[in-house]
Amino acid sequence: MKRFPLSVWIFALVLASLTSLPYLIGAISTPSGWEYSGAAMLPMGTQVDFNSHLAKMWQGSRGEWNYHLLFTHEAHPGLPLVQSFYVLLGAVAHITPFSLPLVFHIARFGLTVGLVLSLWSFASYFFEKASERWYATLFGTIAVGCSWILLFISPSMVAEVGPIEFWLIDAFNLLGALYMPHFAAAVILQIVIVLSFEHWVRRQRNRDFVILTVSLALESIVQPYGIVLIIPLLVLLTSYHLFGAKRISWRKALWLVVPFGIHSGLVLYQYVVLNADPVWASFTAQNITLSPSITYYLLGYLPFLIPIAFGFRLFMLDRADDRWWMPIIWVALVAMLLYAPFPTQRRYLLGVQTPLAVMAAYGWTRSILPYFKLRRRPLISIVYFALAAIALIGIIAVNAISLSNPQKSVTAFYQPDEVAGFSWLKQNTVPDDLILTTFDDSGGGSGGKIVAATGRRVFIGHWIETAQFDDKMAQVKQFYDEAAPDTWRQEFLKQVNARYIWYDESARQMGNWNPASVAYLTPVFSANSITIYQVN
């Protein structure tokens, strides 16, 4: 409590509560007989990712530490450490009386609080004044972006790609924490890594070195993609402290081989095992997260770029404190990675708001606010941050309103027929039984829901975690095409080793063929809109 003022704790709890509000509304608005999945309503992609995280938690809750993909039918090896943040969270859930979605959100709430406290610590490293620390914390949390103005100035542009504040949740700290606890965990670890590194270089205490080593190891598991950002950042900072500031000797610098090596080794292990098996290799190949046009980034980070631009000249004149090299190099590396020849470009945005926040706070407090009279500065700041937070407030409000009406937001809720079907699967099948499901390009269909609700394996249910996704989509459509011969269907079911078929409205939309018309399928469950067939 001494390290963090009471006001900071209150602010952290308020933000964690606000980001939890939509989910709380969803839970209390659930009609009798329905079940709330725990997912957000918008953007739709977060529902698919939520299902994926629950799949990992299911395995952890069953004591399965070697993670398997539950969204594909092919046999493949389980991988220890891969995706183990949620596997561990599932193991924790197993020893509590709470459901997996509830434990997911408890973790998300707690890590959101931790995120705010970490950002305050990061701000405290650069600023002595409480007011400047507060501005940096505000920039690091509630400030989002302004690419939403494209809705008004260039509707044709957003027809293809929407404003990033509404879907690119990696790009902003609090937006990521609103949806996924591992995003908040990764940003916290980033802050611990850079601060422990800076403290070790300047004070050379063993405690800071141990913290650096442990946090780098954890970051390699929580967010392994960050290696192309974190290691170059630390190497460049090491070079500066070794050759420029001459704070450390070669002997001291060589000690960094230990934490850097552990981090790199853990990431290399994951890279090797993910590419050693064809199913996992398909997962890696389909994990494409390319950057949108630079216009989206410029507008998305405009609330930060404006004060940074205003303060740049003053900053360059007052750059005696070399601590600022760390956020400068951090931002520069991210800018280079956004269009680097990697299929995971957008993932390097995670946490970049942190260095942008302290740089923006510098420009805001020392360059922009001095233009205004002292009594007007609070009002100017309130207006500026209110504009910068419009998208964040809008997303929370839209999700809260949507989840308050389950009948109009059915994708985030399990209807009574689904609840009954899920219950039957959990009672009458084993985790390894494969269920033929549906899925579509928008993220709809039965596959994702079944995995999230039951922890069972499905034929298709995720854009990335279903191996050979495009081929599977074509096969499901052919399966429900009445022109396809039954001999093909029987051979197909045998080939994929399907034990059950989940037949619902999404399956009926795939084609006109009805499973009730053949003898090699036996209905074992029926509830109005849903029938589960067992493959004979």
Side-chain half-sphere CA neighbours of 204 within 13 A: 9
Task: Give me the DSSP letters along 255-276.
Answer: TTHHHHHHHHHHHHHHHHHHHH
Whether residue 425 is contained in a domain is answered as yes
Q: How many helices (H) and strands (E) does the chain have?
A: 25, 7
Phi, psi for 118 (deg, rounded to 5): -65, -40
Sheet holding 521-527, edge to edge: 457-458, 434-436, 498-503, 530-535, 521-527
CA nearest neighbour of 347 among 219, 489, 491, 197: 219
Q: Could you tell me if 221 and 359 lie in one domain?
A: yes
Question: Is 454 exposed, middle or buried, given 0-12, 13-18 or 19+ CB atoms closer than 10 A?
Answer: buried
pLDDT for 312: 84
Three-state SS for 308-336 is: HHHHHHHHHHCCCCHHHHHHHHHHHHHHH
Are residues 270 and 192 part of one domain?
A: yes
What pLDDT sits at residue 319? 61
Would residue 81 count as lying in a domain? no
Number of neighbouring beta carbons within 10 Å of residue 426: 13
Domain boundary among 398, 422, 456: 398
CB 417 within 8 A of CB 58: no
- Does any domain span residue 77? no
Please check whether residue 362 is in contact with residue 309, taking contact to mean a CB–CB distance below 8 angstroms.
no
Say whether both 271 and 341 belong to one domain: yes
Look at residue 312 and tell me if it is in a domain.
Answer: yes
419 and 394 in one domain?
no
Residues 6+ apart with CB under 8 A from 260: 216, 231, 234, 235
CA distance 521 to 433: 16
**90 is a domain residue:** no
Tell me whether strands 521-527 and 457-458 are parallel, antiparallel or unpaired. unpaired
Domain count of the chain?
A: 2
DSSP-assigned letters across all residues of 129-141: SHHHHHHHHHHHH
Both 315 and 421 in a single domain? Answer: no
Q: Is the model's pTM score more than 0.95?
A: yes
In a domain, 432, yes or no: yes
DSSP state of 467: T
Same domain flag for 473 and 369: no
Question: Do 107 and 75 form a contact (C-beta atoms < 8 A)?
Answer: no
Q: How many other β-carbons are positioned within 10 Å of the β-carbon of residue 254?
A: 10
Domain boundary among 398, 428, 448: 398
Q: What stretch of H or E contains 503?
A: strand 498-503
Q: What are phi and psi of 434, to 5 degrees?
A: -95, 135
Does 102 lie in the same domain as 173? Answer: yes
Q: Which residue range is the domain that position 515 belongs to?
A: 414-535
Residues 428, 317 share a domain: no
CATH of the domain at 464: 3.40.50.12610
What is the spatial distance between Cα 364 and Cα 369, in angstroms, rounded to a whole number? 6
Neighbouring-strand partners of residue 436: 501
Distance CA 74, CA 357 (A): 45
Q: Are strands 498-503 and 434-436 parallel, antiparallel or unpaired?
A: parallel
Same domain, 389 and 323: yes
Does the residue 46 lie in any domain? no
> From CA 108, how far away is CA 533, in angstroms rounded?
37
Whether residue 382 sits in one domain with residue 440: no
Of 344, 365, 398, the residue at which a domain comes to its end is 398
The full length of the chain comes to 536
Burial 300-321 (b: 16+ CB within 10 A, else e): bbbbbbbbbebbeeebeeeeee
Q: Do 431 and 366 fall into the same domain?
A: no
Rounded Cα distance, 363 and 357, in Å: 10
Q: Say how far apart CA 61 and CA 455 lie, in whole Å.
A: 10
User: Per-residue pLDDT for the chain (536 aa), expressed as one digit of tens each?
Assistant: 468 999 999 999 999 999 999 999 999 999 999 999 999 999 999 999 999 999 999 999 999 999 999 999 999 999 999 999 999 999 999 999 999 999 999 999 999 999 999 999 999 999 999 999 999 999 999 999 999 999 999 998 998 899 999 999 999 999 999 999 999 999 999 999 999 999 999 999 999 999 999 999 999 999 999 999 999 999 999 999 999 999 999 999 999 999 999 999 999 999 999 999 999 999 999 999 999 999 999 999 999 999 999 998 777 666 668 999 999 999 999 999 999 999 999 999 999 999 999 999 999 999 999 999 999 999 999 999 999 999 999 999 999 999 999 999 999 999 999 999 999 999 999 999 999 999 998 899 999 999 999 999 999 999 999 999 999 999 999 999 999 999 999 999 999 999 999 999 999 999 999 999 999 999 999 999 999 999 99
CB 282 within 8 A of CB 467: yes
Q: What phi, psi does 293 have (nearest 5°)? A: -55, 150
Residue at 224 is within a domain: yes
Same domain? 334 vs 440:
no
